[in-house]
Chain A
Amino acid sequence: GGIITQTPKFLIGQEGQKLTLKCQQNFNHDTMYWYRQDSGKGLRLIYYSITENDLQKGDLSEGYDASREKKSSFSLTVTSAQKNEMAVFLCASSGGQISNERLFFGHGTKLSVL
């Protein structure tokens, strides 16, 4: 079996700061995703990547950048942290098109902005 590792587990930032979240997978999956989850709410797609060096915007991409330099890793950057922002960022991967595949998720990075 494989695993998705997200670092860091907790991230505390200052308003206006640029913050980077990292994700590694050892499933050898082609597709990787970043979702944002606000308290008590569903998951909203920020970015996804269907292969190395590919980037596709989700519905929530504004305010974020992403990077897929290797098949196994996918990074997300919050370009300017918003005061009092609090959310969990979930990384996921899948083997192919999601009509046939499940998503495997990491445990998340919890972001708090002071």
Chain B
Amino acid sequence: SQLAEENSWALSVHEGESVTVNCSYKTSITALQWYRQKSGKGPAQLILIRSNEREKRNGRLRATLDTSSQSSSLSITATRCEDTAVYFCATDASSSWQLIFGSGTQLTVMP
């Protein structure tokens, strides 16, 4: 089974709404990263949050980390159609050189 896993396979919202993608992981980590992959492209990092951090922001994006429940969330406010993508969480759970990705959540933002 996956070391990191998003909790929803797919989400859809209308432009302007807020949305949250959740992720759970199985072992202790040094850091957790959120990536976004648009169709036909490679993933691009959005946020890196370390195990001693509880929250990190990047513009309209906010990531939280709860090490006691081994979970993280990525919230996007004021969504835009261009936010449509697959969102992955990824952890360094197995070693400091390997980034293990979850299966991803497909987010669709409708006009």
A interface with B by C-beta (< 8 Å) = 4, 31, 33, 35, 41-45, 48, 50, 56, 58, 90, 92, 97-100, 102-103, 105-108
- CB atoms of A97 and B96 under 8 A apart: yes
B interface with A by C-beta (< 8 Å) = 2, 30-31, 33, 35, 40-45, 48, 50, 88, 92, 96-104
- CB atoms of A107 and B97 under 8 A apart: no
- CB atoms of A102 and B42 under 8 A apart: no
Contact of B45 among A33, A42, A100, A102 (CB under 8 A): A102
With both beta carbons as reference points, the residue of chain A lying nearest to B96 in the complex is identified as: A97
- CB atoms of A42 and B97 under 8 A apart: no
List chain A residues, Cβ under 8 A from B41.
Answer: 105, 107-108
- CB atoms of A98 and B40 under 8 A apart: no
Contact of B96 among A41, A42, A44, A99 (CB under 8 A): A99
With both beta carbons as reference points, the residue of chain A lying nearest to B51 in the complex is identified as: A99
List chain B residues, Cβ under 8 A from A108.
Answer: 41-42
